[in-house]
Structure 1
């Protein structure tokens, strides 16, 4: 069996599809299944059973002999969440439970970290484990992810193989439930359908023009390829960046979405909401040399390729409106 926590979510559900395509069907999906809008993410996919998130620690103790691998992708991922107790419970303490179970029962583990740990990038975007304590996340979500990374590294006993993956700005199918946190591509597509145009955030940083804020956008199909690589690699434990390695502007994202729909860009700018304005990353770019150094050789989609595939093969379906 292969375990996927956060299976009803964005990346988790795309990993189910990747594993099904590769012939893996004995998948145990772990999540809070009380949210029907997310449960359609795994409709039509093949898996062996569903386990409620709160019951998973007990379940893994009873079934560990049958488990091959654990992908812990479940988390509270809202970067505007300021409920520290909630983030501590779901992103830190729960992850510790999963980690400790993998140690106890000898299970390999890959878990989701985040590029939100890098904050404004004062210390760069290198996945250097010795520098994690110097990072300054901009929000409680980023803090919770960095706190777990630091905790994991400090443990005397670790899973025989483990990897923490710092996801950068992931986009692609099955993100519709993320609402405000969904990608600019998703929002552009829907705004075009409703109004014919797109509103991007203004820049409130004199070093960046409106729309020229830059992020490392990575297509979810590339993310699942890396996850699949680690399923078989099972060595070189540690923390790794997972981005495309190439920063692009939000204007690039929006413009390519219009292009994929065969429309001329109509883009205007609105003020960045005040609740995120002082917590806003204006630039991120993953240094991907560490992942490459352990043998990952597959190319990543260019932004143009990823947007074209996402829009034409997924977003045009009514399911994603």
Structure 2
């Protein structure tokens, strides 16, 4: 038997990937993660998989040859994803070196390798949001997390790996199974919680004269679309390189907030608050995934609109207390 390995398989995108694989009839799955004392274990309760392995043991098993000839693909979504993480050495070991080890092993063992890069690699967006390989070395991330992703993309490019593996630059993903993420929860979930607690949503004021309060723009993508884009590359092993995972349609924070209120049948009530000083110099006012490359690769499904996706998330998950 050959397994599908999903690292970060108890996390947000990873657990949704495993859920979709189960729906497609796949159960020969090994989940790799670090549950620690978090609530991530709740994401596993309805999933079907062969085994759970701690991330440290898995990398040791890989190096020892234990999984030789028994892995069909590694979908590497495990990482420290906090954009405020200050321990850069940890990020380099956990996000960069770990990914290098898995990538090299996958190529040497003829296993498909799909890994999570990040839209955080685009920094302030001044160079645009194209996933063209010629731009990779020029990007300047605004935080250490983004840099830990960027440096692997650069390493893969310099070492000729991008015609053998797939890197996915996820934009602002939201949806069920993100409740364990703390401050990194999506604004959809935070907005829902704020409405339930206070009857209103708080958004950061704009400090850029080109954007009114709440009109800062993001490419928000529902996790169900992000999963479909991810698994497209599992099905199409001839498609390699770095690809954006987004909608290509930037929407404002006000749009998002209004969508949550609408899903709950409530009149919008938005309060604009000061942005912490530590974030002001690192804040992205605009993101828009250029998805022409993934479309050219053959992915032709339409993404779910913000309003429809938020409604599905709120009504079918958050209101029911399911995988919030």
Superposition TM-score, scaled by structure 1 size = 0.97
Match of 1:249 in 2: 252
Match of 1:197 in 2: 200
* Among candidates 262, 265, 278, match of residue 265 of structure 2: 262
* Among candidates 84, 89, 98, match of residue 88 of structure 2: 84
Is the Cα–Cα contact under 8 Å of residues 189 and 257 in structure 1 kept in the other structure? yes
Is the Cα–Cα contact under 8 Å of residues 156 and 162 in structure 2 kept in the other structure? no
Quote how far apart the aligned CAs of 1:59 are.
2.3
Is the Cα–Cα contact under 8 Å of residues 215 and 285 in structure 1 kept in the other structure? yes
Match of 1:66 in 2: 70
Is the Cα–Cα contact under 8 Å of residues 106 and 159 in structure 1 kept in the other structure? no
Mean CA deviation greater in 158-167 or 196-205: 158-167
SS of 1:120's partner is coil
Mean CA deviation greater in 147-156 or 159-168: 159-168
Tell me, which stretches of 5 or more residues in structure 2 are unaligned?
Answer: none
Distance in 2, matches of 1:91 and 1:234, equals 24
Is the Cα–Cα contact under 8 Å of residues 172 and 221 in structure 2 kept in the other structure? yes
Quote how far apart the aligned CAs of 1:56 are.
1.1
Is the Cα–Cα contact under 8 Å of residues 28 and 48 in structure 1 kept in the other structure? yes
Is the Cα–Cα contact under 8 Å of residues 200 and 267 in structure 1 kept in the other structure? yes
Match of 1:222 in 2: 225
SS of 1:39's partner is helix
Quote how far apart the aligned CAs of 1:204 are.
1.0
Equivalence map 1:63-212=2 (5 Å): 63-156=67-160, 158=161, 161-212=164-215
Residue 318 (structure 1) aligned with residue 309 (structure 2): no
- Cα 1:24–1:228 change in 2 (3 A) is same
Q: Deviations over 1:43-96 (max 9, x none)?
A: 121000011100112323312312111100001100011211111111111111
Match of 2:32 in 1: 30
Runs of 4+ in 1 over 6 A off after TM superposition: none
Distance in 1, matches of 2:153 and 2:20, equals 26
Distance in 2, matches of 1:320 and 1:22, equals 20
Distance in 1, matches of 2:94 and 2:320, equals 33
Is the Cα–Cα contact under 8 Å of residues 43 and 323 in structure 2 kept in the other structure? no
Q: Deviations over 1:269-311 (max 9, x none)?
A: 1011222121110000001000000111111011111101111
SS of 1:97's partner is helix
Distance in 2, matches of 1:35 and 1:231, equals 31
Superposition TM-score, scaled by structure 2 size = 0.96
Match of 2:9 in 1: 7
Q: Deviations over 1:119-139 (max 9, x none)?
A: 111111110111111111111
Tell me, which stretches of 5 or more residues in structure 1 are unaligned?
Answer: none
Quote how far apart the aligned CAs of 1:27 are.
0.6
SS of 1:185's partner is helix
RMSD: 1.3
